[in-house]
Amino acid sequence: MRARLFVALLLLAAPASPAPQTPAAPPPNPFFSEWKTPFGVPPFDQIRTEHFLPAIEEGTARHNREVGAIAQSPAPPTFANTVEALDASGRLLEKVSGVFSNLTSAETNDALQAIQKKVAPLMAAHRDDIRLNPDLFQRVKAVWDGRAGLTLDPDQQKLLEEAWKDFVRGGALLPKEGQERLRAINAGLASLSVKFGDNLLKETNEYKLVIEKKEDLAGLSDRVVAGGAEAAKKAGLESKWVFTLQAPSLWPFLQGADNRERRRQIFTAYVARGDHGNDTDNKATLARIATLRAERAQLLGYKTHADFVLDENMAKTPARVYGFLDRLWTPAKAVAAREATDLQAAMQADGKDFTLEPWDWSYYAEKVRKARFDLDEQALRPYFPLDRVREGAFWVASRLYGITFTEQRDLPVYNPEVKAFEVRDADGSHLAVFYVDYHPRAGKRGGAWSSRYRGTWVEKGASVRPVVVNVCNFSRPAGDLPALLSIEEVETLFHELGHGLNSILSKVRYRGLASPPRDFVELPSQIMENWATEPEVLQHYARHWKTGEVIPTELVLKIKKSRRFNQGFATVEYLAASLLDMDWHTLAETKEKDAAAFEKASLERIGMPPQIVPRYRSPYFQHIFAGGYAAGYYSYIWAEVLDADAFQVFEEKGLFDPATARSFRANILERGGSEDAMTLYVRFRGKEPSVEPLLAKRGLK
């Protein structure tokens, strides 16, 4: 509303307003002009919902014209006029979709969701129009076939290879009927995954556990109770308490609430998301997604969708992924069984004689943790106020890579909670703009992620620098308390900054080489988590929010000692979800499955312990049905082999050893997907990774 008024005033002030009768012209669409903002960041304050559709349509049309010019060029095909030109095409569309896709994840609403529903199949069709353009493909093929006679540098060779694969994997070699079917499948999948995500957001936002009696709050910390009161106030339920399915509300409740029935209620609601048989049920949607993916893989000559996906990853085949996960599954299950026995004993000691259920696990794990390590997770929070943790993570990045972060209060943001930083290199040169957006909102999907509004590439000899964002769902300030993080949230903040650094420090020359394979991408993020709980680092940043007191050394030692606690549980719930993902995507038949029965069979096959639920059940497994992790959820533990192995070098040479940090930056962080992942890794490490450090770290050995 304010933007409209501002424009109207400007028009009034203009000396000769040409058409006084007509209503004030709407403000110009900011996507159609160069952004004059500092560092060329998106002018969020000028972008309005109605700007997206015309900008996407124009971006698509312009991209089509650019691609048409490449395809119809009378000049003989060369690397420069075909492959390089293709990589440089579609800038406007990329500019719009960068903003659109980020906002539909972090700051969505009904209007944006409606546009997304419309746009998703259009974008899928647009991608198909390019990859299935026969004239364009003939030119790419000519360059590819003649590659032996070309003098290309390694970046160019890799770009050519990626372009070729992109066309082939996109169906360019299929006969006409096959291409038509592929188009229909891609359009269907695009719409279904939007639907899956929208349903999940709705089901997550809708549920409230309303508590009316104070005694039902027993066991919860003052901070958690204050959060519940605040949520109730927001919901118009004065003098009650509300707990939601958003992580910062749900997990502390499950850890602390003495009332078992209340724990059961909220836990059951959490694991039943997308599974209510109503119009936001996700079961039929996900079964259809799995079936269409299987059909597409077979159309393209692969046995299953997993074979299709893994061909591009380090793991290469489903057999290798299953082999790797199975190797961890048995020891993890054994450790979890011992943990369950301990928790059952703690229940008995508590005077309760019921059987341990999934809604009891967090609660009794906390009790055992307190008893065994004299460590209360909630009591750590005062030492982890959000701002200090963020500064601590920045400090680690500065010490490792010499970079600095300076807050920029005058940059436009898409929500007042978002903060912007300029990142500079050690020599003072500009590297990136970095946004952080840390708290849950109704318009934000769950989880934590790192993304880009603008990527990195080289244009006219100069590196275009990126605009990067970290989006999380951390505990909010509650009552008089600032946002105080749990250890897990602290590690997530470091994790996402690790992804951020991968973008911030990128020196990739071509946009087509920006991203490493899915199972390599978690290395830069997961390795950062190691620094979060190193005593030297904790001493620097973990200070009491009120007194400023540095976290006591004995607390640091307790944290260190308790790191392996509950790892059986964590590994089992994670591996079960990874195996479920693989099961859905190694379907070789295209007959649609009953999702509930399929999941049940998958969990029975692996002998899932009854007290543990997979980290994600199918109807809310956003990573694989509405994200980029299909047949890829295993990546986290795959990359943990890499990060545990890589971090060993820092442990041996020094946490901030300059030569090791320089090598990690130059060989991994700056390189994106510009070279084979294992080649990059070995260049840093001097050898291929070993699984031993991971087994030791998780206590599975």
**Rule CB under 5 A: which residues touch Zn ion?**
522, 525
Whether 496 is a known active-site residue: answer yes
- Identify which of residues 253 and 531 has a Cβ nearer to Zn ion in the complex: 531
Specify the DSSP class assigned to residue 304: S
Q: Could you tell me the smallest distance in angstroms from the CB atom of residue 585 to Zn ion?
A: 20
Q: Could you tell me the smallest distance in angstroms from the CB atom of residue 524 to Zn ion?
A: 9
- Identify which of residues 207 and 449 has a Cβ nearer to Zn ion in the complex: 449
Q: Sign of the C-alpha dihedral, residues 466, 430, 400, 398?
A: negative
Q: Can you read off the two tokens belonging to residue 523?
A: 């290395």
Q: For residues 362 and 374, is the Cβ–Cβ distance under 8 A?
A: no
Task: Please state, in angstroms and rounded to a whole number, the distance separating the CA atoms of residues 631 and 633.
Answer: 6
**Residue 691, Cβ density class (10 Å: 0-12 exposed, 13-18 middle, ≥19 buried):** middle
- Identify which of residues 255 and 473 has a Cβ nearer to Zn ion in the complex: 473
Q: Could you tell me the smallest distance in angstroms from the CB atom of residue 448 to Zn ion?
A: 8
Q: Could you tell me the smallest distance in angstroms from the CB atom of residue 633 to Zn ion?
A: 11
Task: Please state, in angstroms and rounded to a whole number, the distance separating the CA atoms of residues 260 and 264.
Answer: 6
Q: For residues 223 and 229, is the Cβ–Cβ distance under 8 A?
A: no
* Residue 543 phi, psi (nearest 5): -125, 145
- Identify which of residues 440 and 609 has a Cβ nearer to Zn ion in the complex: 440
- Please state the separation of Cα 639 from the chain's center in Å: 15
Task: Please state, in angstroms and rounded to a whole number, the distance separating the CA atoms of residues 198 and 50.
Answer: 20
Bridge partner residues of 468 (DSSP)? 434, 452
Task: Please state, in angstroms and rounded to a whole number, the distance separating the CA atoms of residues 497 and 436.
Answer: 9
Which ranges constitute the DSSP H helices of 132-246? 134-145, 154-169, 176-206, 222-234
Q: Could you tell me the smallest distance in angstroms from the CB atom of residue 636 to Zn ion?
A: 7
- Identify which of residues 491 and 522 has a Cβ nearer to Zn ion in the complex: 522
Q: For residues 606 and 325, is the Cβ–Cβ distance under 8 A?
A: no
Q: Please name the helix (run of DSSP H) or strand (run of DSSP E) that holds residue 463, with its range, or none.
A: strand 462-464
Q: Could you tell me the smallest distance in angstroms from the CB atom of residue 450 to Zn ion?
A: 7
Q: Could you tell me the smallest distance in angstroms from the CB atom of residue 525 to Zn ion?
A: 4
- Identify which of residues 67 and 315 has a Cβ nearer to Zn ion in the complex: 315
Q: Could you tell me the smallest distance in angstroms from the CB atom of residue 306 to Zn ion?
A: 20
**Residue 298, number of CB atoms within 10 A of its CB:** 17
* Measured CA distances, 669 to 18, 198, 295, 687, 690 (Å): 54, 33, 36, 18, 21
Q: Sign of the C-alpha dihedral, residues 555, 558, 563, 567?
A: negative
Q: Which residue is nearest to Zn ion (CB)?
A: 525
**Residue 261, number of CB atoms within 10 A of its CB:** 9
Q: For residues 519 and 679, is the Cβ–Cβ distance under 8 A?
A: no
- Identify which of residues 46 and 470 has a Cβ nearer to Zn ion in the complex: 470
Which residue in the list 162, 339, 366, 496 is annotated as catalytic?
496
- Identify which of residues 475 and 525 has a Cβ nearer to Zn ion in the complex: 525
Q: Could you tell me the smallest distance in angstroms from the CB atom of residue 661 to Zn ion?
A: 20
Sheet holding 449-454, edge to edge: 404-407, 419-424, 430-437, 467-471, 449-454
Question: Which residues are within 8 A (CB) of 319 and not within 5 positions of it... i.e. 6 or more apart?
Answer: none
| Helix, strand or coil, per DSSP, at residue 419 | strand
Q: For residues 241 and 211, is the Cβ–Cβ distance under 8 A?
A: yes
Which residue type does 346 have?
A
Specify the DSSP class assigned to residue 669: I
Q: Could you tell me the smallest distance in angstroms from the CB atom of residue 520 to Zn ion?
A: 12
* Residue 292 phi, psi (nearest 5): -65, -35
Q: Could you tell me the smallest distance in angstroms from the CB atom of residue 280 to Zn ion?
A: 27
| CA distance from start to end of the chain | 61
Which ranges constitute the DSSP H helices of 237-304? 247-256, 260-271, 283-299
- Identify which of residues 364 and 494 has a Cβ nearer to Zn ion in the complex: 494
- Identify which of residues 51 and 623 has a Cβ nearer to Zn ion in the complex: 623
| Helix, strand or coil, per DSSP, at residue 464 | strand
| Helix, strand or coil, per DSSP, at residue 423 | strand
- Identify which of residues 82 and 525 has a Cβ nearer to Zn ion in the complex: 525
Q: For residues 153 and 279, is the Cβ–Cβ distance under 8 A?
A: no
**Residue 533, Cβ density class (10 Å: 0-12 exposed, 13-18 middle, ≥19 buried):** middle
Q: Which of 162, 668, 636 is nearest to 401 (CA)?
A: 668
Catalytic residues: 496
